[in-house]
Structure 1
């Protein structure tokens, strides 16, 4: 079964130079039908105006992945890391026993566009950890590039959960068939472009839950179609 989640159905919050869309319940937005999907708890799409950002705040017992679409994002945390992310960069924090961090757009002219992803870890009380990696656009073209996995295979970032996160960049007419192992499910998040999925057209920002199927097939219907695929328990 494939269940669509249209972009305009997501929660939204705007203010202080931040415009956010929430795929699942978050902060003051609560939707009982969209609290989580498997171990995927948060999928926020954030647009930060120049100079805007999130001041230092705490996290615990969560795997937090940041996927940058455009612009620059400056990260600082209580472990002593300070890093400016650009397109292609991916970071992951294991909040575990507790970590504090801040994120802001340091640019004076350009906005920053990103996805913030929270996943429940396989166990609580883990040692806090920070990782980062770079994945070029060329690595994602016409096939699924593994970004995050439980074992760090193929140069991916290792997280403490049985989740594989992929990204792909497709041109019109290019498609991918993805096999789904028994007992697994998939969540698709269209970041940019348009996508044909199961006879339905997904527009930028749309998402889809895939359950009880052995495979899923999709084809790009616009230039610069960028998709995130979560393979979940």
Structure 2
């Protein structure tokens, strides 16, 4: 099963008046579609655009894995554990909320900020919050979440360059920039593919190449 979710179909949210624009792939915040609440362990894939000085005030999280990928600009993270970290393009940021943590996300720089933030359901709830930034993650390097049955793959492809799509019960592909060919479909920046029972699939870069985030997931949420 291959379903393409176009950028134009994402719900537009945020508050443009204060420099925040959000494009939701799933039900999120004030937008609810009972037929579109998650895919595998993934419950959010938001493309956030923050003007210089804009951001999200301190707010809490619990029992969620939050992974962020900066496309352009710089993301400043501050949290209740006393951290203040700047995340740049090519870095992977992970916040495992555990039993609870509060944080702030903002654009403290002078240029527009665009980043993709993805939320996944952990396999075990509770525990201490954890935070990590992997600087300049290499192409093709798998990034496994310790608390969720999921692996993130970063793919950077030249024009016509091919790569295997992971074989997994649930695979989610988000095109960050450029264009991608997958399963006979053409995807552009902001488009995503939801693949059930992925097996033997390949993706290739379009005419200008592509950068894509690929989630490999082997389970669904368990709340019992």
Q: TM-score range by the shorter chain?
A: over 0.9
Aligned to 2:116: 115
CA drift at 1:38? 1.0
Q: Indicate conservation of the 8 Å contact 2:180/2:209, yes or no.
A: no
1:204 CA displacement: 1.1
Once residues 30 and 132 of structure 1 are traced to their aligned partners in structure 2, the CA distance between those partners, rounded to angstroms, is 31
Secondary structure of the structure 1 residue equivalent to 2:208: coil
Deviation, 1:213, is 3.3
2:98 paired with 1:83: no
What per-residue deviation string (whole Å, max 9, x for no partner) do you get for residues 109-143 of structure 1?
x101101111101111121111111125xx22xxx
Give the unaligned 5+ runs of structure 2: 219-224
What is the distance in 2 between the residues matched to 1:167 and 1:36?
Answer: 21
Give the count of matched residue pairs.
216
CA distance in 2, matches of 1:52, 1:224: 31
1:185 and 2:170 aligned:
yes
Aligned match of 1:170: 157
Alignment partner of 2:180 out of 195, 199, 205: 195
- Among residues 202, 213, 219, which one is paired with 1:228 in the alignment? 213
Shift of 1:145: 2.5
Conservation of the 8 A alpha-carbon contact between 1:75 and 1:103: yes
Return the offset for 1:215.
2.2
Q: CA deviation at 1:222?
A: 3.0
Contact 1:12 1:29 (8 Å CA) reproduced:
no
Pairwise CA distance, 1:224: 4.5
Deviation at 1:211, TM superposition (A): 1.1
Change in Cα spacing, 1:222 to 1:48, as seen in structure 2 (3 Å) is farther
Would you say the 8 A contact 1:188–1:227 is kept in 2? yes
Counterpart in 1 of 2:26?
Answer: 24
Partner Cα separation in structure 1 for residue 66 and residue 31 of structure 2: 19
Offset at residue 96 of structure 1 (A): 1.0
Assess if the C-alpha contact under 8 Å between 2:166 and 2:216 holds in 1: no
Structure 1: unaligned runs, 5 residues or longer: 151-158
Shift of 1:180: 0.4
Give TM-score scaled by structure 1 length: 0.89
What is the TM-score of this pair, normalised by structure 2?
0.92
Question: Secondary structure of 1:51's match?
Answer: coil
Q: Deviations over 1:43-75 (max 9, x none)?
A: 100011111111100000111111111101111
SS of structure 2 residue aligned to 1:8: helix
Contact 2:19–2:54 at 8 Å: present in 1 too? yes
Instruction: Provide Cα deviations, 1:144-201, integer angstroms capped at 9, x if missing partner.
Output: 221x214xxxxxxxx30110001111111111123404xx221111111111111111
